[in-house]
Amino acid sequence: MHPLVALFRQHLVSEKRASDHTVRAYVSDVEELLAHAGAGGRAVTVADLDVTACRSYLASLHGRNDPVTVGRKLSSLRTFFRLLVRRRLASGSPVAALRGPKRARRLPAFLGKEEAGRLLDAVIAPAARPAEDARDQALFEVLYGAGLRVSEACNLNLGDVAAQGPGGLVTVRFGKGRKDRIVPLGAKACQAIDAYLPLRAVLLAGAKVATKVDPDALFLSNRGRRLGPREARRRLNRRELASSVRPVSPHALRHSFATHLLGEGADLKAIQEMLGHASLRTTQRYAQVDIDHLMAVYDRSHPRAHLTTERGPRKT
């Protein structure tokens, strides 16, 4: 690993406390820049990473990456060069004045209330693996009931869920930005967890090597290890087929959680805290989603939503 990349990685992990996914993405972006600047196999120094090299690298991304990806890579480079300037390895940032491509306005994908209900109430047949089916039900109820990211749900431990009246509370540890938060959990999700826990021992027993068992993990794979986000997505796809719901990602359940809360009058600030957003601007996207949904319903349903060419006789 290039010394500059190693320094950047240490900064992300130790100082920024970035998630593993962010560390991998940002480090990969900087490695791409270094590879581009060192085309031909020559060693790259900080002096080689000037405005021309950075512009050339960003220009090479167009056509192969969408504007969102290019913008993220530019953000990675800004963080990288800020570190070099702070460590006095560079006199200034060559990307400070560069602007990313204009992004298309994309609203979060979400399920309607009826769709979410069909997805969560779908019956998987035949129920040959009741332990896995109960785990999946509990997982999807938690994703929708608490608005968790799929990685946050997979990282939950047994002690992170506590009863609170008919519902409960879930403690999300080391969420985005390595921040902890406590989120309410509905009665349906708590009921699904209670049904899953007695069957969880079946999944623990499936481990072939005892040392690889994760006894603290709430959601286990059929080998007794902590369930991963990729497997969670695969299980959701199976549930979509059974419920005839359009294909969505686990993150769409999080979007649905926020959109449905907002549609029922929940406070935007409270939704921000439950989602763990650092900025209210991020949460405000769901306000636009809700407005667009309301407008679509109005346009379909209201008898005077559209102009018509037919007119009755004019009164005199």
Is residue 226 within 8 Å of 217, Cβ to Cβ?
yes
Q: Is 302 a known active-site residue?
A: no
Question: Which burial class, exposed, middle or buried, applies to 36 when counting CB atoms under 10 A from its CB (0-12, 13-18, 19+)?
Answer: middle
Q: Which among 200, 239, 254, 260 is annotated as catalytic? A: 254
Q: Which among 11, 251, 255, 260 is annotated as catalytic? A: 251
Q: Which among 118, 277, 285, 293 is annotated as catalytic? A: 277
Q: Is 21 a known active-site residue?
A: no
**For the residues of 75-102, what is the DSSP string, one character each?**
HHHHHHHHHHHHTTS-SS-TTTT--PPP
Q: Is 315 a known active-site residue?
A: no
What is d(CA 146, CA 176) in angstroms, rounded to the nearest whole number? 15
What is d(CA 25, CA 16) in angstroms, rounded to the nearest whole number? 14
Q: Which among 9, 176, 225, 260 is annotated as catalytic? A: 176
Q: Which among 11, 149, 200, 235 is annotated as catalytic? A: 149
Q: Enumerate the β-bridge partners of residue 171.
A: 182
Q: Is 149 a known active-site residue?
A: yes
C-alpha distances out from residue 314 to 271, 304, 310, Å: 51, 18, 12
Place of tokens 């196999």: 41
Longest CA pairwise span in the chain (Å)? 91
What is d(CA 42, CA 212) in angstroms, rounded to the nearest whole number? 43
Is residue 53 within 8 Å of 42, Cβ to Cβ?
no
Q: Is 176 a known active-site residue?
A: yes
Q: Is 103 a known active-site residue?
A: no
Q: Which among 26, 57, 196, 286 is annotated as catalytic? A: 286
Supply the residues annotated as catalytic: 149, 176, 251, 254, 277, 286
